[in-house]
Structure 1
Amino acid sequence: MGVPTSTTIKSVEAFQVSWEPNEPPGRRTAFIRVTTTDGIVGHGEASPMMGGEHSLGVVRDFAESLVGLDALDHAIIFDRLMHKYIKLGPEGAVTGALAALDIALWDIKGKFFNQPIHQLLGGAWRKEIPFYSSVGNNAFRTLDETLRAVEERFKSETPALIKFRQDGDRSRQDVDVPGDIAKIKAVRKLVGDGFPLAFDASNLYSVGTAMRVGRVLEEEGYIWFEEPVQHYNVRAMGEIAQRLSITVSAGEQTYTTQALVDMINAGVRMVQPDLIKMGGITGLMQCMAICHAHGVELVPHQTQPTIGHVANLHILSAIMHLTKPAEFADPSTRMHVAFDNLPKPQNGKFVVPSGPGLGLSINDAELNKRRS
């Protein structure tokens, strides 16, 4: 194939990928693939909630309307589709669909100009990104089980920081506060006084309990306290952030830039939007500008180990004041079969890919074989 001269969209595909036999829908990955008339292929990923099928349904609805458009008009395409589907939310399914599309169009843009995405964003302040191990499902573990899960990641990954998450039943508040406090203290003892730690309450506390737990986290030297109360209770989140000295973070369930500003105005000073849930690369760049203007830390949430992860690394490399490591939530290698050059965790860091676009070598034949 010669040098591409056109970025006209030829096709948009939306599909789930199953990585293991009989994998339930919720464990599958939601990908989209955009191909131009000159054969440039861009890949994107949607939010993994329910396997992303709700977002893929939105993509399938608008896919045909994108044929013939210029992939370089990604911001215009994004806003037109956002307002076309505005009555569906726009949170959740719609923003996940548009995030996947935006990442794929940035991938095409980078390949067309033969530049990595971070270069098109204005350049990389850093080419290596420290990461933190994000250890989940601890609400359902005993203290000893929690310590074993944290210790395994601590020793095997040598991260720059560890965050352990509750991931409990969000319809129940303040279920086992003494047990939570015991885990907080035990994890601190496990890793030592000087090692950076964070705690994600997963929205499971009332305001009073969040204050109580937050004081313990302060005493134990934790770096941040993530989403202590329900994410939609923005005023309460801000109240806790202003009353505690530990940094309180929120925003992984924030889907628009306007909602992000509301969280900041409430008093939250570290925000964590997720690029495959809201806005993709274009949206996170808007978040970056908002945070810079407000003097707020931008620490994106990101739990997917392939396309979403790499897109996030490009974003992080372009943040001038990057104050916290990147999130690394899934150490499983089951998805590696379709990716030849995924960044691997080494010495507590990831190297940002330098190839065109996302910089990923993706085996489309393997993805097609595993399509659900």
Structure 2
Amino acid sequence: MLKDAPASGRPVPVRADHRIASVEAFQVSWRPGDVPGRRTAMVRVRTDTGLTGYGEASPMMGGEHSLLVVRHFSDSLVGADPFDQAVIQDRLLHRYIKLGPEGAVTGALAALDIALWDIKGKALGLPIYKLLGGAWRTKLPFYASIGGNAERSVDDVVRTVERRWRSETPAAIKIRWDGDRTRQDHDIPGDIAKAKAVRGLVGDDFPLAFDANNQYSVGGAIRVGRALEELGYIWFEEPVQHYNVRAMGEVAQRLDITVSAAEQTYTTQALVDMINAGVRMVQPDIVKMGGITGLMQCAAICFAHGVELVPHQTQPGIGHVANLHVLATLMHNTKPAEFADPDDRMHAAFENPPIPRNGCFDVPDGPGLGLRLRDEELDRRRT
């Protein structure tokens, strides 16, 4: 950021001599009895100039594994320049790479990266999307991601979908299965019947997607995919096990419906492997894939390969807003943003919680993430 030029004509840079003073990693339980997956894995970074940045790691198992990694490297960050977020990320990744480059380590780095971008924006008085090059749009439509349908009857699926459809007015709907991944092809006729019933509910033209959550064999996935094509679904998400990249690519190449994958991909190299296998819509998650820095790298990869980037995102908090800032900067933003959890349990910790209106989220235009958090509420809910 540059101030107005003085009479000499030379711009005067805004100083950014901030240093990291502390890094905290803790879990927030929003309501009594919250299971780990309903908690938030939080990282809070403070500078010696009084700025505070907030980040979030993947909520899988409460993010405890990633929080442990953050605690391991927190002391080494004291005194570092928060503007060096990319250098910090690469240095820490390679210091802890023997723990495995995917999962706990990349989730920890994602949370830290988001917090450092938040600080950078606050230091410069700009929203993150401005630091990333500017927004093509600051109002983003969302799709309602509706899970738990593996165990529901057809009628229950229709009732659940109708409730979200009527109350949220989303731009699209994705029905998720969330079933037992150890059982392949468990009830293909029942799954197709549920997909047909949802299409009957919303009509022929409303955009629908189907998330199998990795529950089919290659043959089963092709059978379901053909039915989804007939029903006019626009994408088929993770039809086979995510770690079987060859099989995911085979299904993608044999179906006309767009097959998506990569929400469980944690490195850019693994993302390229998925694309090279034949997947043409990828869904890395900002709280797993190196934060804002990592997701912007994914955007460049997708642009170069002509692949759709539709990031996965579950909890409507810090990670969600960070994701919106990235999405705002994408020229080819082909699908709505994911909104998987309409619960308001986190709102107590935000002065301005991210709430959709008329089927859209507004990207905050305040400094950094643009979120105003209440530290006293976070601390009160720490576990």
Range of TM-score over shorter length: over 0.9
Tell me which residue corresponds to 1:12: 23
Say yes or no: does 1:256 pair with 2:263: no
The whole-number CA distance in structure 1 between the counterparts of 2:94 and 2:242 is: 24
Aligned to 1:27: 38
CA distance in 2: counterparts of 1:204 and 1:16, whole angstroms: 30
Counterparts of 2:256 and 2:290 in 1: how far apart (Å)?
Answer: 31
Q: Is the 8 A contact 2:316 2:354 kept in 1?
A: no
Deviation, structure 1 residue 304: 1.1
Q: 3-state DSSP class of the match of 2:260?
A: strand
Rounded to whole Å, the distance in 1 between the matches of 2:131 and 2:266 is 24
SS in 2 for 1:261: helix
Structure 1 residue 260: deviation in Å? 0.3
Q: How far apart are 1:257 and its partner, in Å?
A: 0.1
CA contact (8 A) 1:16 1:53 kept: yes
Residue of structure 1 in register with 2:326 after alignment: 315
- CA distance in 2: counterparts of 1:252 and 1:279, whole angstroms: 13
Q: CA, structure 1 residues 29+223, in 2 after alignment: closer, same or farther (shift >3 Å)? A: same
How many Å separate the matches in 2 of 1:270 and 1:5? 38
* In structure 2, distance between residues paired with 1:181 and 1:345: 31
Distance apart, 1:220 and its partner CA: 0.3
Q: Name which of 290, 294, 308 aligns with 1:297.
A: 308
Q: Which of 213, 232, 247 does residue 258 from structure 2 map onto?
A: 247
CA offset at residue 339 of structure 1? Answer: 0.7
SS at match of 1:340: coil
Runs of 4+ residues over 6 Å off in structure 1: none
**Whole-Å separation in 1 of the counterparts to 2:56 and 2:73:** 16
| Alpha carbons 1:110, 1:357 under 8 Å: kept | yes
8 A Cα contact 1:4 1:40, kept in partner = no
Q: Tell me the CA shift for residue 4 of structure 1.
A: 8.1
Matches within 5 A, 1:40-51: 40-51=51-62
Q: In structure 2, what is the Cα distance between the partners aligned to 1:87 and 1:301?
A: 26
For 1:131, what is the secondary structure of its paired residue?
strand
Shift of 1:27: 2.3
Q: Deviations over 1:125-165 (max 9, x none)?
A: 00100100000011111111111110110000000000000
- Structure 2-normalised TM-score? 0.95
- Quick one: distance in 2 between partners of 1:23 and 1:261? 36
Partner SS for 1:322: coil
The RMSD of aligned alpha carbons is 1.0
The one-letter amino acid of 1:205's match is Y
Shift in Å, 1:99: 0.2
Residue identity opposite 1:340 in structure 2: E
- For residues 237 and 26 of structure 1, the distance between their equivalents in structure 2, rounded to whole angstroms, comes to 27
Note the C-alpha offset of 1:25.
2.9
Q: Of residues 189, 192, 204 in structure 1, which corresponds to 2:200? A: 189
Aligned counterpart for 2:128 among listed residues 102, 114, 117: 117
Cα separation, 1, equivalents of 2:331 and 2:364: 18
1:87 to 87, 93, 98: 98
Distance 1:215 1:154 in 2: 25
Q: Which has the larger displacement, 145-154 or 15-24?
A: 15-24
Residue in structure 2 matching 1:103, options 114, 118, 122: 114
| 1:69 correspondence with 2:73 | no
CA distance in 1, matches of 2:170, 2:260: 20
**Residue 232 in structure 1 maps to residue 220 in structure 2:** no
| Residues 93-242 of structure 1 mapped to structure 2, 5 A cutoff | 93-242=104-253
Larger displacement relative to structure 2 (19-28 or 333-342): 19-28
Q: Tell me the CA shift for residue 7 of structure 1.
A: 1.8
CA contact (8 A) 2:142 2:172 kept: yes
Say whether residues 1:333 and 2:344 are aligned partners: yes
CA distance in 1, matches of 2:368, 2:57: 18
Question: Unpaired runs of 5+ in structure 1?
Answer: none
Identity %: 74
CA distance in 1, matches of 2:110, 2:117: 11
Give the unaligned 5+ runs of structure 2: 1-13
Contact 1:4–1:38 under 8 Å retained in 2: no
2:300 paired with 1:284: no
Give CA-to-partner distance per residue, 1:339-371, whole Å, 9 cap, x none.
Answer: 111231111111110000000010011001111
Q: Distance in 2 between matches of 1:83 and 1:115?
A: 31
The aligned length equals 370
TM-score by length of 1: 0.98
Aligned to 1:366: 377
